[in-house]
Structure 1
Amino acid sequence: MRPSPTQCSWINPEKARYYHVFLDQDLFGDWTLIMVWGGIGSNRGRMHSTGVASYEAGVELGGEIARRRSQRGYTCAPPTGRS
């Protein structure tokens, strides 16, 4: 399954790490890219949100993140179904 441009997830099984990216629009119509990462099986992790100028800019930034995740050994993960 191919990830959607608005939500992507990656895992690095060798290092037991995960990385999620969500592109979301708020009530004012502004776009925000939310990044969440941490250790698999750990309750610890981090989250960072970045405002982007448009949907297209968010998709482009998500593509750059996907490229970096791939270079660091992460593989695309199917959606977990959790919200």
Structure 2
Amino acid sequence: MNSAVKGRAAYIAGPAVCGSTPAASTAIRVRWENRHRRRYYEAVVQRDLFGGWELWKVWGALESARGGQQVLPARDKQSGLAALAQLCRHRERRGYMQVAGVGAISNGAAAR
């Protein structure tokens, strides 16, 4: 287990192997941090209570309780993973470094 942020609920890192393939019902979780701006960003693709798929986005400051979250519905697991792949590219362009989660996400690599 890997606790990434002190003083907050422990974040359990998912598979950290590049190109790993999570089980069909497993949540896919990724965390990024920007140490210069002292910010974090997390994203999770998981099933909702009704069996559908959703993308959770959570963000905030590393040293305070301020932050936010957003839940976006996905048509299926593939579209959730495609949205997650786009989010990965966007976070990296903004200077965030991936610190936990699935190693390399492309438009379908983690879905198979």
The two structures have a TM-score, normalised by structure 2, of 0.65
Greater radius of gyration (CA): 2
Cα displacement (A) at 1:69: 0.4
Confirm whether residue 37 of structure 1 aligns to residue 59 of structure 2: yes
Q: 2:79 aligns with which of 52, 57, 63?
A: 57
Aligned equivalent of 2:70: 48
Confirm whether residue 16 of structure 1 aligns to residue 33 of structure 2: no
| Structure 1: gaps (5+ residues) | none
The separation in 2 between residues aligned to 1:27 and 1:50, in whole angstroms, is 14
Q: Name the Cα RMSD after superposition.
A: 1.7
Is the helix fraction higher in 1 or 2? 1
Kindly, what percent of the aligned residue pairs are identical? 32
The two structures have a TM-score, normalised by structure 1, of 0.87
The separation in 2 between residues aligned to 1:52 and 1:26, in whole angstroms, is 10
Aligned equivalent of 2:29: 7
| Structure 2: gaps (5+ residues) | 1-15, 23-27, 102-112
Query: Could you say what secondary structure the match of 1:78 adopts?
Result: strand
